[in-house]
Amino acid sequence: MSIIKKRKRIALVAHDNKKDDLLEWADFNKGSLTRHRLFATGTTGRLLEEALDIPVTRFNSGPLGGDQQIGAQIAEGKIDMLIFFWDPLAPMPHDPDIRALLRLCVVWNIPVASNRTTADFIFSSPLMDEDYPRQLEDYSTHITRMDDLLDEVEEEKDSPES
């Protein structure tokens, strides 16, 4: 178990066609957002800082690795929530990065909102203003199985028949 603290660490991401939506949502929720620590990908972070006049820790833009940087922070337990306004109708050349980011949210059991309505529901929850005991999956069996598979591959490489 891990504790998501009262002061949440929130990553905010928006595709180009959704940046205005995220900025409107963030402006509406500015009072709530100021009580938390904010992170964002490149341009989204700059726009949020300018619009809200609150600090935002910025990563690279999504296509340049920002999604992966946020994913790494999630895996290290340094991001508690993801608000990601993505455009389901726009082509996404970095789609594998986006899917990996969303997969990490599930693996590490953090809340993720992909649209304004879900973000509103999350932010209106009383859980936003208190510590939350986050349940974490026990992946030790999976890790052991993967280690065993890697050992088998190494043994096959080292065998004289190879």
Measuring CA to CA, which residue among 5, 3, 21 is closest to residue 13? 21
Closest to 84 (Cα-Cα) out of 145, 18, 36: 18
Catalytic residue among 20, 53, 67, 148: 67
Instruction: Indicate if 67 belongs to the active site.
Output: yes
Helix-, strand-, coil-residue percentages of the chain, each rounded to 5? 50, 15, 30
Torsion of CA 20, 4, 41, 107, to 10 degrees: -110
Known catalytic residues? 67
